[in-house]
Amino acid sequence: MADATVIAARRYADAYPGFRLAFPVEVAVPMSRLTLELLVQERRPLPVVEEYALRLTHAGVTKIGDIARYLGLDDAPVTDAIVAQMQEENLEHRPDPHGGRMLVLTPNGIDAATDLQAVTILRVEAERIFDRLAWKAVDYTARELIHADDVKADGIVTLPSTRTGDVDLADITPRALNKLLNSRSDRREPPPLQILSVETILRETRWYLPAVLLVYQAIGANDTRFAVTVNGARSTPYEQALDATGGYDRLKINIQPSAGEPALPIELTTQRVAHDRVVGWHRQTAWATPATPGDVSAETEDSKAARHELDTAPVRAVPAFEHRHLLAEALTTARRRLLLVTSSVRDAVAGDFFDHLETALRRKGMRVTIVYTNSDNRSDHDRDAIGRLRKLAERHTNLTLVAHPGPASAALIYDNTWINSNFGWLSYRGDPTHTYRSEEGTLIRIPAIVDAHHDTCLATFVSPNTA
């Protein structure tokens, strides 16, 4: 499954006319997992008219017309209910000694009516999810949420809560909870319990829902707009909640100008498929990529053709949002070589990267070279991430790690593909200042040119001065 930021960017890159998508940011929506003490009532298995037909017959109301008048209904729906209960062998329609016909409960009907009168009230504990941005109970499950420790470790930006305090009983009503129970998309029958009251909130723990914040910048003007997606779909309620609470300003997202793409020979730039056309290809594939495990691919002839262009174009633009996808592709598909040049290394990126890198290093015949600039500015790197890289190099002889003493143009080469871009390959998240750069690049799939650049990088960077 594609990266959530890539799916969101593909689907909503053109959300605002006159704006260009600058960067997709992983964010976390604040949630509370509540353990509640509830008073609940078992729901009756019968439709309401059938239930009251049994109840009233048991109470001595034996004429169909009388039951209809008691319920404020016409005779027709009551007759239908009576017929249904006769088919269940709970009712009989017998001659009335006083004239006409009357309803009589069978032995089974007497048992059913008695059970209906025995209302069972239960006191139970249940867990519910409360959305602290929308400030309401929601139908998410605990397995869809992530812990605060994971949010921090992965460098994910947290969206603000609408309120700072704990959830109160007034915020979580029986009506709201019953509405959620009844609206479950996977429920074919009414839920077995009806919530009568929320007695107390026993426990509240803070969790987060993964989401994507899309940051747009005006073309030729100083203006910024945002969109929020969850599970690949745009969330207007979240956008409105953030706007109403000033949440966008509170996030302090900082989009800096691009560092600029490293220069390419003119024979490559003249072949390069332009940015807007490549974004159009991505847009055509957007809904063919499942956003969640349960989604069904909506592949069409157009999306297949667009995907083919993305996968085969010899020289094309790389939009800012595609870099992460290409790094993941490099780690999972490379079979011969992988070379990565990056300026910074962040713990928040390195965790996922190391897991996939170690798998790549186990492939027979695989060679990996990672170059990072050995800057005097300690804030450029996270010490733990550099330490993990060094330990990995000690364990795998096919990994060459180089601390380059000066500035270097970033690059990614895997097998016969070269991504020419100053994107922060190992620092695209985790910056404590929430600073992002909208770096675009160029993908080259011409083997002779990729080989030549790979050789140039090795000659430039690989020396006895390894980390």
Question: What pLDDT does residue 185 have?
Answer: 45
pTM, to two decimals: 0.77
Alpha-carbon distances of 168 from 32, 130, 174, 201, rounded to whole Å: 12, 11, 13, 8
Given a contact cutoff of 8 angstroms between Cβ atoms, the answer to whether 133 and 241 are in contact is: yes
Question: What pLDDT does residue 180 have?
Answer: 85
Alpha-carbon distances of 277 from 317, 406, 456, rounded to whole Å: 9, 36, 30
CA torsion sign, 429 to 432 to 438 to 441?
negative
* Tens digit of each residue's pLDDT (9 = 90 or more) over 129-146: 999 999 999 999 999 999
List of domains in the chain: 42-117 (1.10.10.10), 258-273+313-461 (3.30.870.10)
Question: What pLDDT does residue 184 have?
Answer: 63
Ranges in the chain, pLDDT < 70? 1-2, 43-45, 117-119, 184-192, 289-298, 350-351, 375-380, 430, 463-467
Question: What pLDDT does residue 133 have?
Answer: 94
Retrieve residue 1's tokens.
């499954």
230: number of Cβ within 10 Å:
21
Alpha-carbon distances of 237 from 177, 249, 334, 387, rounded to whole Å: 19, 17, 41, 43
Q: Report how far residue 106's alpha carbon sits from residue 86's, in angstroms, rounded to the nearest whole number.
A: 9
Question: What pLDDT does residue 464 have?
Answer: 47
Give the DSSP H/E element, type plus range, for residue 348: helix 347-361
